[in-house]
Structure 1
């Protein structure tokens, strides 16, 4: 009965011809998630969680939305990246995919560690009164010593996402190729709710032993967490009718996600459950997975279209991701020293970062073959032609 419903796509969903479906909604979701990162990383200056530069006065109103977005923003990006790998393997061999990801992930990562990230560490050390000289001197005397952060000054900082995603490619490629060739295909159904459980078990068991560090070698909780989500994205993209299944149940996922959050907050307030416990891991990952399914459902239902904004944003989003945190830290370093109110500082840093990212992308990154190459873009100039699949432009990369 349920499978028959999946095979008969409701008229309220975007209509597509067999074999020609475009997944623009995945591009929209990726662009939105990266935009949320700008809000999130700007907020890190003002919530007192310990960051590269921090404002003396906190903005307590940011804590709850940032806590929620922390559970959702990166998981969504990894799920989309996993889906992108499925789409890419429909048109490439495994060797071709690995070569492409090496160019689009590893190259921007390495260049970013020597060019994009060092200003972040420089301003952080200035803020901490651990450096008094200029940037070029810092680059020569500190960065190029290649001593790993935080003891040293060489790091990938926010580019950890690119590093992890690149490591996942060779790790998962044999399994992905086997699954692509296999006649077995999963069907969407109620069993998909249980995908929250491996995430919860991983967090409950490994987070106390390996707290989040993003250093790759001692980060098993986070490494496995996003590895699972990348696999989930790949499997979802391989499942016939899965996006329609999400779309038809999008409201119940959202209601479930809100309910889990409200009940969890009440239980925390009553002291029934506590942070960083197995119970916290369970409710947190149920919340995450319900909302990821909701996002995919709402995205498919309402964002299955392409327009000039999306065509621009899907090319721009990866370079903007690479650039954004360095600009936030640099601008934030100067803004926190002003006498402005905390909210004025927040919006000032955010808007200045957004404008700077767009200008750098428009005036430099997209205009030259070399800069397009080092930022993981196609070497040719951007076109206005819509992509056939979300993965073929940027979803597979970020």
Structure 2
């Protein structure tokens, strides 16, 4: 049976990862960058952090939502054994390879930048996200299999609930409760925290559920997208004015979900269409995510010592990071067959690999 392609979800993944790169580059220009393991510019651009704090409450959760959606599409033509094998190849292999060979690279550059003794040790670094996704696949797969084969009655109930403007907002209750229960000291601290694990699990689960429910949910988001964005903007303004950017967790959870639902509605309305650019960027997004920290640190190592304005430095590091990431993807990762599975790409014959511009982005979806 032929299924409809969701190009808006492909665009979500691509743009969310691009914003993640910009966010990480902005950290380099904050006074506290070194304390979170980043190379730090001597010339701070603290104004950059105002838009970044808006981005921060939804940048990682939205990727977990999208990953849950990706699992739904992966399950359509696979049994549970095939699915675990496919997810192991696409997620677990790059995760383990990254721990050994990718994450230590930017730590090496960090040590070099600060003239520290050089040392090597395997660690997850920014790839903690992949480890979480693989664990969620194993945890939720039994539930998703039940929904797939015996969930017709529940699906009808969810369709009715999600057909109203308030319906999707009921999902925010789970995230509010998570924030109240875990009490994260910093809501946006997702990496290697229980808050990040539980929030990611909720987002992954509901990401699957949203595409499982189908058009009633997405039609509602399309209709009410500006309302969700208005609520998110009001909550962000409250956080900025009253709480110095770190509001109580339950308010940040609600703000996060409203941003995400508004963005989902915008993308579903305007970007659910194919194109050559998406066909290229879709497969590239995952490898770029894997290598971007090393490339970012390399760019900072080369550019920060230059006697130029910090805004010019920020632009230069950004251009360097995106350019080098795509050069490495285009001329090494995409073309060398043995490297492809290490970066989450399918093994393909060289002739076919050189013709990826014409292939659908879905083939390389996370």
Fold-level match, TM-score > 0.5? Answer: yes
Corresponding position: 1:393 with 2:366:
no
**TM-score, normalization by structure 1:** 0.82
Aligned-pair CA distance for 1:386: 5.2
Aligned counterpart, 1:169: 137
Aligned counterpart, 2:53: 67
Aligned-pair CA distance for 1:280: 1.5
- SS of 2:170's equivalent in the other structure is helix
Aligned counterpart, 1:198: 174
Taking the aligned partners of 1:385 and 1:367, their CA distance within structure 2 comes to 15
Taking the aligned partners of 2:180 and 2:364, their CA distance within structure 1 comes to 33
Taking the aligned partners of 1:103 and 1:95, their CA distance within structure 2 comes to 12
Aligned counterpart, 1:322: 290
Alpha-carbon spacing, 1:386–1:363, altered in 2? closer, same or farther (3 Å): closer
If asked which structure has higher relative contact order (CA below 8 Å, sep 6+), I would say 1
| Contact residue 30 and residue 46 of structure 2 kept, 8 A | yes
Aligned counterpart, 1:338: 306
Please, which of 232, 247, 262 is the counterpart of residue 257 of structure 1? 232
Q: Deviations over 1:54-113 (max 9, x none)?
A: 011210221111111111211111111101111211111111111111111111111112
Taking the aligned partners of 2:94 and 2:284, their CA distance within structure 1 comes to 14
Give the gaps of 5 or more residues in structure 2: none
Pairing of 1:214-293 with structure 2 (within 5 A): 214-215=191-192, 219-241=193-215, 242-268=217-243, 275=246, 280-293=248-261
The 10-residue stretch of structure 1 (178-187 or 120-129) with the greater mean CA deviation from structure 2: 120-129
Aligned counterpart, 2:20: 37
Corresponding position: 1:300 with 2:268:
yes
Corresponding position: 1:157 with 2:133:
no
Higher helix share: 2
Larger Rg: 1
| Contact residue 104 and residue 377 of structure 1 kept, 8 A | yes
**TM-score, normalization by structure 2:** 0.89
Q: Deviations over 1:249-277 (max 9, x none)?
A: 111111111122123323326xxxx83xx
Aligned counterpart, 2:63: 77
Q: Deviations over 1:110-153 (max 9, x none)?
A: 1112221112111222334321xxxxxx4xxx32xxxxxxxxx4
The 10-residue stretch of structure 1 (191-200 or 98-107) with the greater mean CA deviation from structure 2: 191-200
User: Paired residues, what number?
Assistant: 348
Q: Deviations over 1:151-172 (max 9, x none)?
A: xx43111111111111111111
| Contact residue 276 and residue 358 of structure 2 kept, 8 A | no
Taking the aligned partners of 1:311 and 1:208, their CA distance within structure 2 comes to 39
Taking the aligned partners of 1:328 and 1:197, their CA distance within structure 2 comes to 37
Taking the aligned partners of 1:213 and 1:85, their CA distance within structure 2 comes to 21
| Contact residue 346 and residue 364 of structure 2 kept, 8 A | no
